[in-house]
Structure 1
Amino acid sequence: MIYKCEVAGKISYTDEPCLGAKRMDIEPSLGLDKFSGKKMTGADVATEKRREQLADAIGPATGINRQQFSTEVRRHNHNSSTKAECRQLDQDLLDAEAMEAATPRENLRTIQQDLLLLRKQFKELRC
């Protein structure tokens, strides 16, 4: 997950959550060299493409999409209590982000602090 952070008027993009961060839905480009524009497939890109193909193949039978499949793969080695905690954090983060969007600016600080704690816990658990 990538966050857009603003500190002292400067904007930065990072994978570390910060107070008041905006979550960015960014997908890295797979297999393209940023300078030449030519397709260059490394082992990591090939693995990702195989996972996408597998997700597409089993999707109709399981009812899960690529993103859900990717989440399950990422959490595969977690124990059951950590998986349950990650699922709870998924919902808590959605609720907190919705609350942040609906909260007036003067009351925003407390909500953002709670959201920061949730995001840090999410990252620590490698959800």
Structure 2
Amino acid sequence: MRKIFFKMLVIAAVSGMAYGQSAPTYKCTTAGKVTYSDEPCVGGKVVDTTPTQGLDKISGTSKKGADVQKIEFNKAMAEGLKPLLGETPEQRAQRHKRWKLSDKEKLECWNLDGQIQETKTREPVSLYQARKRYKDLTC
């Protein structure tokens, strides 16, 4: 019984870490109805869903989970390595996210980065297609 509980706990933790990564949330308006989705939509706008981080009101100390501590550690590492690598924390996170991809997929992700930036204001359909391919590649 104890082994089964432990295995379930590990599976829940691993799946929670994979899901907890920062994925964009889109606000979509269709026929006057507003919906929120993790999938890009035509005319959808990215919504900032970053949880707030603050002090506990009672004790005055900061209570942070392992995920927030990991994010802060990664930001501190990026700032420390910035003089050596010349990367912002966002660029470092993106590089780490893509390290498992093949060279061909990395190149396609890099091209999609530029394509998404170019089409944000012009063509909603091609923007949708570029974002969908971006997500499919797990860029």
Higher Cα Rg, which structure: 2
Give the conservation status (yes or no) of the 8 Å contact 1:17–1:119.
yes
How does the TM-score come out when normalised to structure 2?
0.72
Cα shift at 1:87 = 0.3
Task: State the 4+ residue runs in structure 1 displaced beyond 3 angstroms.
Answer: 30-33
Q: Distance in 2 between matches of 1:63 and 1:16?
A: 32
Partner in structure 2 of residue 126 of structure 1: 138
Larger RCO (alpha carbons 8 Å, 6+ apart): 1
Task: Return the TM-score normalized by structure 1.
Answer: 0.78
- What RMSD, in angstroms, separates the aligned Cα atoms of the two structures? 2.5
Q: Secondary structure at the match of 2:120?
A: helix
Match of 1:69 in 2: 92
Cα deviation code 1:13-61 (max 9, x no counterpart):
222101111233x26135459xx9x743222111111111110000121
How many percent identity over aligned positions?
A: 29
Letter in 2 for 1:69: R
Greater CA drift, 54-63 or 13-22: 13-22
In structure 2, runs of 5+ residues without a counterpart are 1-23
1:4, 1:14 within 8 Å by CA — same for their partners in 2? yes
- Render the CA deviation track for 1:73-100: whole Å, top value 9, x for unaligned: 11121111111110000001011114x2
Alignment of 1:39-78 (within 5 A): 39-78=62-101
* 1:86 pairs with 2:109: yes
